[in-house]
């Protein structure tokens, strides 16, 4: 029987070489095959194993990617990067363009990731004996070919819309692998301490959030920028105002520190806003003053404006403020899970136009 090679992942060359060594340490034969995703030359490499070794290779791959790690690893300043999941939708194109713009300002690398379902890996329950199935392998070949072809077309279109000269100024890497997108996005981000994940809502319309995006939002330990379906494309230097929804918690100051790091090269005003259902208490006023003083002492060069708002309906109160102040980005931390749930609740979104055009930056303290 002819030996069949199965692609288990596409990686940048340097990472592919390390994975190949890991596989060979486990006595698993592997091969590397360059693929040309850009006209300038091969930038990524297929890591392939024999079909009979897939069952043994997958645990090595998952360990290499960090799937067993639950903690966030310490970052490497030489490897600061922004992770951008790609699904080839129309929304992904403008999401990637915004991510590119951010990476250009922060002088960070872009890592584009696409995950696809591989019939061999995701449809066959492995037993002690693997039954060769030529039909399944044909479907696997087709899934891999479609993923690579679509990725190449997408990157070519993206680089052309950005401008090829600008494109070359930002270092980029490409990862194409069979797997479940939510798991692999989180795994890569935590293993490599991504500076930021930038992704679309993925829900198919402005009033829902897709399951993959929702899973990443709730479980990521790194900041996530969610770009809505109706977001109007703009350059990053056109962003002038950010709203940070605060509850005066200690975690807010950790998130603000991360926010300032992302905003470092930009002249953006940050509104720290707290909404009280009842009339603003003296305690809220005192905490607001304390926040003002602390932010002024820590970030003298940044423009912070702390506000107390009163309203029975939290979302409507924030929405009015967003419209009145022409807010460009909404930001919050996930310790207020109820707030996030309400933001993404379809019944709420149908009643009001909230965050449907405004990117949402989520921190995880």
CB 140 within 8 A of CB 9: no
Q: pLDDT at position 135, please?
A: 55
Q: How confident is the model at residue 252 (pLDDT cuts 50, 70, 90)?
A: confident
Residue 168 to residue 43: CA distance in whole angstroms: 13
Sign of the C-alpha dihedral, residues 39, 92, 259, 364? negative
- β-bridge pairing 172-178 and 109-116: parallel
Q: List b or e across 221-238, with b for residues whose CB sees 16 or more CB atoms inside 10 angstroms.
A: bbbbbbbbbebeeeebee
Same fold, 5-227 and 239-363: yes
pLDDT at 351 over 50: no
- Quickly state the pLDDT bin for 89 (edges 50, 70, 90): confident
Q: Distance between CA atoms of 276 and 185, rounded to whole angstroms?
A: 36
Helix (H) or strand (E) holding 362: strand 360-363
Strand 360-363 relative to strand 329-333: parallel, antiparallel, unpaired? parallel
**pLDDT tens digits, one per residue of 44-79:** 788 888 888 888 888 888 888 766 555 555 555 556
Q: Is the pLDDT of residue 164 over 60?
A: yes
Percentage of the chain lying above the pLDDT 90 cut: 25
Q: Which CATH class is domain 5-227?
A: alpha beta
Over residues 279-293, the mean pLDDT reads: 85
Q: Tokens 């591989």 — which residue? A: 118
Of 142 and 292, more confident: 292
Please state the pTM of the whole predicted model.
0.79
Distances (CA, A) of 304 to 275, 286, 293: 17, 17, 10
Work out the percent of the chain whose per-residue pLDDT is above 70: 78
Q: So where are the chain's domains?
A: 5-227, 239-363
Structure confidence at residue 130 as a pLDDT band (50, 70, 90):
very low
Q: Is the pLDDT of residue 127 over 90?
A: no
Architecture of domain 239-363: 3-Layer(aba) Sandwich (3.40)
pLDDT per residue over 230-240, tens digit each?
888 888 888 99
Express each pLDDT in 36-52 by its tens digit. Answer: 666 555 467 888 888 88
């Amino acid at each position: 029987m002819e030996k069949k090679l199965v692609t288990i992942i596409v990686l940048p060359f340097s990472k592919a070489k390390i994975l190949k060594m890991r596989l060979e340490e486990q006595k698993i034969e592997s091969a590397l095959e360059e693929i040309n995703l850009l006209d300038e030359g091969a930038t990524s490499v297929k890591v392939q194993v024999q079909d009979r070794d897939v069952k043994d290779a997958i645990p090595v791959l998952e360990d290499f990617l960090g799937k067993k790690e639950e903690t966030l690893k310490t970052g490497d300043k030489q490897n600061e990067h922004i992770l951008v999941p790609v699904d080839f939708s129309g929304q992904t194109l403008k999401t990637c363009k915004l991510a590119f713009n951010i990476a250009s300002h922060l002088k960070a690398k872009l890592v584009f990731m696409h995950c696809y379902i591989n019939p061999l890996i995701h449809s066959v329950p492995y037993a002690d004996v693997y039954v060769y199935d030529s039909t399944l392998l044909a479907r696997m070949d087709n899934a891999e070919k479609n993923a690579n072809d679509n990725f190449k077309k997408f990157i070519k279109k993206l680089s052309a819309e950005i401008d090829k000269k600008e494109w070359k100024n930002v270092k980029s890497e490409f990862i194409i692998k069979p797997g479940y997108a939510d798991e692999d996005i989180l795994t890569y981000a935590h293993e490599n301490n991504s500076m930021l994940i930038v992704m679309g809502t993925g829900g198919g319309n402005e009033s829902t959030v897709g399951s993959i995006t929702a899973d990443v939002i709730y479980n990521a330990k790194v900041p996530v920028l969610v770009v809505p379906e109706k977001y109007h494309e703009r350059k990053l230097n056109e962003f002038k105002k950010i709203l940070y929804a605060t509850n005066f918690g200690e975690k807010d100051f950790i998130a603000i520190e991360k926010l300032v790091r992302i905003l470092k090269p930009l002249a953006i005003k940050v509104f720290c806003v707290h909404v009280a259902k009842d009339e603003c208490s003296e305690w809220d006023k005192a905490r607001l003053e304390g926040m003002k003083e602390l932010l002024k002492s820590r970030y003298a060069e940044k423009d912070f404006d702390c506000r107390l708002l009163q309203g029975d309906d939290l979302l409507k109160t924030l929405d009015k403020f967003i419209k009145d102040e022409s807010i460009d980005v909404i930001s919050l931390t996930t310790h207020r899970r109820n707030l996030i749930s309400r933001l993404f609740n379809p019944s709420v979104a149908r009643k009001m136009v909230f965050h449907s055009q405004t990117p949402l930056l989520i921190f995880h303290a």
